[in-house]
A = this chain, B = another copy of it.
């Protein structure tokens, strides 16, 4: 199988990730931060090492600001529901994933409302202006993805967060689709809450979400329980990361994620992005010469786009095209990608789109094979 659904989950995983998880199950299998015996302490240390690696990768001020969750969706829910109160207003981009839109929609029942800022691909001035115009005197939060999981559009989060600082508005960035591809520097930006998925561009296992919280004072936890700290108190402890890490974490997954970060550091994330960019550039060029292919975005350019391409074959439903490719050994994802807002943006809400996303492991020959299949006459007869 040629796997081109890396925007959902990267595959294959680096061998060192798989091996580190096997080792974790055999050697680091005690509850960290609970027992005082060697395996518990060793496990705590392994988890802390992963916190340090993440902290360093995103230039966070402190490894203790790195919180582990189940997934990026949990991270976003924890932030949104931990900060917002009745009467607050939120600004989101018009491309957000259901991981943002569904919690936000449910928060409207609590008297929270939101505005949607339009995004202008390749025109960051216009995008920024659109965010600014969406603010009002009640705006507490801007929630913005770094990269659209459907169209690859890269949003100017550094400029948006700098603008937010002027108005004392906090910023949540959903970097599920960009981490491991683009650099994010927390010390150099005004991002208050960075939400991440471990299993995509960071090459870790599924079930590893992250929040990096700049200031934990004004955010309530939504999950409370045993933390191994200050156990005598019925109040959730205020210390980080315990405040947001109740119960037993996915230790095996976290240790795997630590190995994955070593892997991407050894490759260099700029090199990874460049490799994937070269692949999608070739694909874009080929697709733009096929009359039956509909492309929605301009030619890729890492300043404005992450290396992924979504398209349609004229008159065909995207699911049919994905099935044809799957029958020929290529895994891609069609449909709405849990992001109806993004599909509304390009008018593809009715039939979705076919998304192709390479990884560091994708070969040129695999893209060439995809191109040859998309030229195939049989495709026209579906």
Contact = CB atoms under 8 A, between A and B. Distances in A.
Given A5-B35, A22-B18, A247 B73 contact: yes
Interface string A90-114: 0000000111111101100000000
Interface string A222-246: 1111111001111110000000001
Please state the number of chain copies in the assembly: 2
A251 interface: yes
A187 to B, nearest CB: 28
A330 B226 CA distance: 24
Contacts of A208: 250
Given A5-B35, A29-B206, A331-B39, A249 B70 contact: yes
A326 interface: yes
Nearest to A350: B232
Interface stretch (A263-271, A333-341, A369-377): A333-341
Contacts of A319: 36
Contact of A1 (B38, B72, B233, B236): B38
A311 B69 CA distance: 34
A200 to B, nearest CB: 9
A349 interface: yes
A207 interface: yes
Contacts of A333: 34-35
Contacts of A209: 247
A21 interface: yes
B225 A76 contact: yes
Nearest to A231: B336
A134 interface: no
A74 interface: yes
A337 to B, nearest CB: 7
A193 interface: no
Interface in A1-22: 1, 3, 5, 8-9, 11-13, 17-18, 21-22
Contacts of A101: 234
A338 B226 contact: yes
Interface string A29-41: 1110011111110
Contacts of A77: 222-225, 246
Given A31-B206, A40-B331, A247-B73, A224 B102 contact: yes
Contacts of A21: 21-22, 25, 252
Instruction: List the 10 closest pairs (A to B, CB-CB), nearest first.
Output: A207-B250, A73-B247, A226-B338, A73-B225, A71-B247, A99-B225, A37-B331, A102-B224, A70-B70, A231-B336
Interface of A: 1, 3, 5, 8-9, 11-13, 17-18, 21-22, 25-26, 29-31, 34-40, 69-74, 76-77, 81, 97-103, 105-106, 197, 199, 205-209, 222-228, 231-236, 246-253, 256, 319, 322-323, 325-326, 330-340, 349
